[in-house]
Amino acid sequence: MLAAVLLLALAHMPEADAMDEAQWLARAAVAAADNRNAPFAVIDKRKARVFVFDATGRLQASSPVLLGLARGDDSVPGIGERAMSEIRPEERTTPAGRFATEPGLNTKGEDIVWIDYDAAVSMHRVRATQKSERRLQRLASPTVADNRISYGCVNVPAAFYDAYIKPVLGSRRGVVYVLPETMAAHKRFEFLSRSEQKLTRRGFTPAG
Amino acid sequence: MNSTSRLLAALALGAAGAAFAQGNPPTTAPANPATAAGQQNPSGGPMGTTGVTPESGAAARTTTPPTVQSPPDTSSSSRTTMAASGDTPAMRRARADRN
């Protein structure tokens, strides 16, 4: 029954190339009930943006974000236990996939949203403590390439965080989907893989 | 009762009270002079170990010191003691993020 609903929903979707991939993924997640009937967020690393959706998959807002410096979709094992000074540039990735988020605190008492607690990856208000990193300027610039600066965390403009991220993910468990940048989306999201064969037969190929 | 009897009775009562008050005199010869008389457990057990019943003799001397509270578990499953229900999770131990 669920698969039928999912296929029906996907069949009425335009190809991923023709629409924003984040919105495409959001619709697929809602069709598969993967979001557990709750609001959620999708992070598109290629576009360096976060998209916040309501429980029905309707886009509420989006914003540029800062992401991990390194290109890659996995966290180095054990990186969450290492000091920042021990993390090499090529290890500063923002992992991709489906993450069950939870509100939390960092050691400075700042309220954040844990994306991957074990890997110490969170979503938080942008931090401009290191002037040389020019994080605020990077967020404000129209280019995407310079949004790669963090050690893996997702930096969100403070106003956007307070207006959209905190209400949706800051007080309860939630779901964040981080689109991969080195592989096709269906390789990271189980609910897409379930219908992969049928989708391929229909000539539908999730963006990769 | 004449005044002499009353006086004797008052003196006797006062002496008895003083005797009661001095029933547990301070230690004048502490076992460890370095600690002076100080405050000591009358049963010989360690001081400041609430919840531990003092024991006498060898048992008291071999009492295991109180276990130091270990730091919070650093594993990924570590949680505080806050109750969790539904989508409102118990907040995990604060930790550094990857900025």
Q: Strands (DSSP E) along chain A, which ranges?
A: 40-44, 49-53, 59-64, 67-68, 97-105, 111-116, 121-125, 148-150, 154-156, 174-179
The residue type at A4: A
- Answer whether A133's CB lies under 8 Å from A58's CB: no
The residue type at B57: G
Nearest-Cα distance to chain B for A152, in Å, is 6
Q: How far apart are CA A189 and CA A196, in angstroms?
A: 11
Complex ipTM value: 0.79
**Contact between A122 and B91 using a beta-carbon 8 Å cutoff:** no
Question: How do the domains of chain A map onto residue ranges?
Answer: 2-201
**Contact between B98 and A122 using a beta-carbon 8 Å cutoff:** yes
**Contact between B98 and A109 using a beta-carbon 8 Å cutoff:** no
Q: What is the pLDDT of residue B15?
A: 58
| B92 close to A (CB below 8 A) | yes
Q: How far apart are CA A193 and CA A185, in angstroms?
A: 9
Tokens of A16: 């991923």
Among B74, B87, B98, select the one facing A121 at the smallest CB separation: B98
Chain A environment of B91 (Cβ under 8 Å): 102-105
| A125 close to B (CB below 8 A) | no
Domain A2-201 belongs in CATH node 2.40.440.10: yes
Cα A21–chain centre separation: 12
* Mean pLDDT of chain B, nearest integer: 56
**Contact between B89 and A172 using a beta-carbon 8 Å cutoff:** yes
Q: How confident is the model at residue B10 (pLDDT cuts 50, 70, 90)?
A: confident
Q: In angstroms, what CA-CA distances link B32 with B27, B38, B39? A: 11, 10, 12
Query: Is-above-0.90 flag for pTM?
Result: no
CB environment A180-191: b (16+ within 10 A), e (fewer): bbeeebbbbbeb
Count, residues in chain B: 99
| B91 close to A (CB below 8 A) | yes
Q: Which of A141-150, B1-10, B44-53, B63-72 has the lowest mean pLDDT?
A: B63-72
Query: In this structure, what DSSP letter does residue B85 have?
Result: B
Among A107, A127, A150, select the one facing B96 at the smallest CB separation: A107
Nearest-Cα distance to chain A for B93, in Å, is 8
